[in-house]
Amino acid sequence: MTFRDVWGKHLLVGDGALGTELEARQRGHTSCLEELNLQEPETVQAVHRDYLTAGADWIETNTFGANAARLRLHGLDDRLSDLVTGGVRLAREVCPAGKFVA
């Protein structure tokens, strides 16, 4: 099943405030939540799983602030590709068939 197969046919429920949950759960490693994709992947996946268990049909990757300008503020602009790839991989790994990653 693809996203196009279900779009417009029934209500799709998205995940919640990923950043807020990550801030609450992280172990104080970083002020750049995208860095958790590499430092605390289990935390990122736990939040994704919780949203899926709560009924989300789709989850967003932990890549909201993954752009060169923002990452430069944290000295991470050279890690852009790793952070984005990691965020996508983590979401895909926990997303079951019939659910989607955005």
> Token match 């807020």: residue?
20
- In this structure, how many other beta carbons lie within 10 angstroms of the beta carbon of residue 59? 25
Domain that holds residue 47: 3-101
Is residue 32 within 8 Å of residue 75, measured between CB atoms? no
pLDDT of residue 7: 79
Encoding tokens for residue 44? 């990122």
H/E stretch holding 24 reads helix 18-25
The confidence score (pLDDT) of residue 72 equals: 96
Bridge partners of residue 20, in order along the sequence: none
- Predicted pLDDT at 37: 97
The per-residue pLDDT for 3 is 77
Predicted local confidence at residue 8, as pLDDT: 79
Which residues, given as ranges, of the chain have pLDDT below 50? Answer: none
* 38-64 per-position pLDDT tens digit: 999 999 999 999 999 999 999 999 999
| Total of domains in the chain | 1
Looking at residue 31, its pLDDT comes to 84
Dihedral sign, Cα of residue 67, residue 89, residue 8, residue 47: negative
